[in-house]
Chain A
């Protein structure tokens, strides 16, 4: 048998379905790979060896019993540590939840189990999904398999690094401002942010409730679509979940893979025309645009005048919501408790717990949000940011009257060296310049590898209207069929 860790999820599922490989063999191969390379990558915070092998044995037994299994049965998956997993540690990359074993599964994890996938473990992330490099993880940064001195993006850098390091063929991420797409771009993998409400947030430890969107990560567009279909759809436990079926993203990825984009109109956002982006990234992007044209797409330039305000609006809305969402981490019911020596008041214990349990970026955002929501400032900050959000939505709506989808580089720069941007928060925030508008609007976005710049991957982002997730998969798959996939140097 060839090395299954080098295979796509689609190929692995085929092997398991035909009995050419057992789910246990596939799982063991990935566990071995993790054991071999994760010391250098640090993609995983927790590897659930026993749980994974048990799940794999269950799949093999069910297949042996002649049970009809889904298209991803037996395929290993890595799950970002932002999703609750029953009995399996869930830390959100924070000291404040160290050792917490949730009593319940998130909907996404439930659906992964129902689809017959095998969860390998939990992946590293910036604490509470706040960051673009995993350097804000309380458990040390993950490293980019393309160059282990560089960041793998964030916040979902662990999931992206696990894919690029062939530790897992599939992974789950969550995207609040770009946390699936930007790590995908800088690791040469595929990451899709579904329509907000298209994937359930139940069991996703909240950062910013109105923006958080769990979604699929993979090494190919088709694999991402298969994973998207498995986890997506209405969930009555999430009030913001959309009560409609997921668009047929798998069919769209297969259609795109034929390499024909004739009749598809794509818009390039004028406001993303190079300002702040590395020249190498822009050059690679422009080559990809030429490729899309050759595939038959019609390219037009579209102005979205309010996108320039997306970053500031985001940095009011997301911290505001986070300041409230993170209030529950107080040492009373779960997680870390500090200073409870019998002499301190409840307030002191809460305060010491939060002081010790939260890292600097989380504290910065809690303070920002607390300030933005406070009496007398609400209208000027939170209220104003919500108005900007409406204007950005209008920009998208107007654009989608003219084009089927918008395209841009996913992120302004390739993977940067560890430590390069931690001293200046704003430089870090710029990593999400091109991804944040979709979060504010609620529409889907995907990052697909489109080439290399100075030997490092560059991602192209496709943004589609809400509940038209299929469109972005078609465009991304077409590009992938033309430019191929990208393999990092051996670790």
Chain B
């Protein structure tokens, strides 16, 4: 379809978006939800399985207490009420990656419900309502072989790996979020970012979108001001924070184009494409499966002891947002500076770099400067750029020790990012260390003075600024491997001038 999309400004001037997010988080428990199989990512297909997670006849589930605890903690961190009594339910549908052909989930009795999460967008707090937080099991993975698309249609063979089947999965559903206007894409991204940070701070999941331990579905609709909310679409395959923002924006533009042409939005699942940044239709929800939910008879109801819940609540860590406020003060940043740190996704990276010995200013300089630039250029998350906070701190240590100057440090950092090794290793291997042998440097200085007698005279006569040209000449002969400040001092000494 080659419909021309309207301009974003026009879309938000005409329509009001309502968004909603459903997030799935794989818990980092040692064992699966209903059995003792390990949960580690990877592994040869179908090696982390047993009669229970393969759904063999006669097998029965037993709930993993650690997963229930993790879910309650997530609920508490999201200001939810915790159910005093609730049940698991079966969601029935046939699909080969689901061993029992039903998923044990929760239906009308979620473990946690009615909470909120405050997120900051452009320095303003936006309160996102949380509808529910519930616990369910993950499915296996299907690999379709022989088709052009890698999807089931057209495939000649399908292979299933049940290693992931039965890993505990927490689903977090927001209430509909109206009233965000042009900021809707940013609010969506800020929410998922904040949610990820909260869950990470609880230590219950590694929440890595690229490995699928954090997955996000984005609901979007548009309506004219004063009218009822529009028909929503659900966008899947949104696999990065950046994609969350892009998916909302793309879907707003698409829907506006359809509506603008007098069309009607179909309630459907859409598939987001990372490469093109747009969405294509998936299965239509209008012919949706009837899941025939009913209470799971193989499990007893959950009735969390209120005293235990109170204990968990008291032991919650500091919320990331408050933690950031504290860091901002410690780092002495303005709101605007902190916002740019946040936008770059650099808070934890800077924090870790400072913890590894760098000053806040230096840490911020590297992460927001060189590294952010590279991340933007290559389209990866800053955290996945290839440099660790420890390496950045080590690099700054070399600068502080006078072994690298700023320019050399950038070259070394490039080596770090491309995986050549640690900063010290790269500096040594590539011979990038600052020429600090004063004998060699003095010789280079003398050479530069001899080669530029007119400039040398100017400096001798007190025109200190003219020394810059001599410094440049020395840097040239040392191929940049000298410390400019040291060179300048040496020149002024040689010429008897005062810096």
Contact = CB atoms under 8 A, between A and B. Distances in A.
Interface string A368-387: 00100111001000100000
A321 interface: yes
B92 A97 contact: no
B57 A102 contact: yes
A327 B100 contact: yes
B298 A240 contact: yes
B51 A321 contact: no
A333 B62 contact: no
Contacts, number: 103
B101 A209 contact: no
Contacts of A237: 60, 62
Q: Which of B100, B156, B293, B297 has the most CB of A within 10 A?
A: B297
Contacts of A346: 96, 152, 158
B251 to A, nearest CB: 28
A84 interface: yes
Nearest to B290: A375
B297 A204 contact: no
A83 B56 CA distance: 12
B143 interface: no
Interface in A232-287: 236-240
B54 interface: yes
A202 interface: yes
A90 B57 contact: yes
B296 to A, nearest CB: 8
Interface residues of A, number: 45
A235 B299 CA distance: 13
Given A210-B297, A320-B294, A328 B58 contact: no
A106 B294 contact: no
Nearest to B153: A345
A328 B152 CA distance: 20
B466 interface: no
Contacts of B290: 374-375
B299 A239 contact: yes
A223 interface: no
A203 B57 CA distance: 7
A208 B297 CA distance: 9
Given A103-B51, A350-B94, A373-B292, A328 B57 contact: yes
A171 interface: no
Nearest to A96: B57
A324 B99 contact: no
Nearest to A369: B292
Given A327-B100, A333-B55, A346-B158, A238 B294 contact: no
A176 B487 CA distance: 93
B229 interface: no
Contact of A239 (B57, B60, B160, B293): B60
A201 interface: yes
B443 to A, nearest CB: 78
B61 to A, nearest CB: 7
A239 B65 CA distance: 12
B451 interface: no
Contact of A97 (B57, B60, B94, B297): B57
Contacts of A238: 60, 62
Contact of B58 (A203, A240, A321): A203
A9 B96 CA distance: 46
A328 B90 CA distance: 13
A51 B436 CA distance: 84
Given A84-B58, A103-B56, A239 B63 contact: yes
B106 to A, nearest CB: 15
Interface in A335-367: 342, 346-347, 350
Interface string B94-112: 1010011110000000000
Contacts of A100: 57
Contacts of A342: 156
Nearest to A375: B290
User: Is the interface on chain B under 10, 10 to 19, 20 to 34, or 35 or more residues?
Assistant: 20 to 34
A201 to B, nearest CB: 6
B145 to A, nearest CB: 13
Interface string B138-165: 0000000000000010001010100000
B100 A328 contact: yes
B60 A202 contact: yes
A394 to B, nearest CB: 19
A435 to B, nearest CB: 20
B298 A239 contact: yes
A327 B94 contact: yes
Nearest to A334: B56
Given A239-B61, A346-B96, A324 B294 contact: yes
B344 to A, nearest CB: 45
A201 B62 CA distance: 12
Interface string A283-324: 000000000000000000000000000000000000011011
A328 B172 CA distance: 28
B325 to A, nearest CB: 44
B91 to A, nearest CB: 10
A404 interface: no
B193 to A, nearest CB: 36
Q: Which of A97, A206, A240, A332 has the most CB of B within 10 A?
A: A332
A175 interface: no
B151 to A, nearest CB: 13
A426 B124 CA distance: 68
A104 B299 CA distance: 21
A330 interface: yes
Given A84-B58, A102-B58, A106-B58, A333 B99 contact: yes
Contacts of B62: 236-239
Nearest to B92: A324
A204 B96 contact: no
Interface string A213-243: 0000000000000000000000011111000
Nearest to B299: A239
Contact of A202 (B54, B55, B58): B58
Contacts of A350: 94
Contacts of A373: 92, 292-294
B51 A330 contact: no
Contacts of A391: none
Interface string A88-103: 0010100001001011
B146 to A, nearest CB: 11
Interface in A85-130: 90, 92, 97, 100, 102-104, 106
Nearest to A105: B58
A32 to B, nearest CB: 31
A31 interface: no
B283 to A, nearest CB: 14
A456 interface: no
Instruction: Give 3 nearest A-B pairs by CB, closest first.
Output: A327-B101, A209-B297, A373-B292
Given A210-B297, A237-B62, A327-B100, 17 more contacts: A102-B56, A206-B57, A206-B58, A236-B62, A238-B62, A239-B61, A324-B92, A327-B102, A333-B55, A334-B57, A346-B152, A347-B94, A373-B92, A373-B294, A374-B290, A375-B290, A378-B293
15 contacts: A102-B58, A106-B58, A202-B60, A205-B57, A209-B298, A239-B298, A239-B299, A320-B294, A324-B90, A324-B294, A328-B55, A328-B101, A334-B56, A346-B158, A370-B292
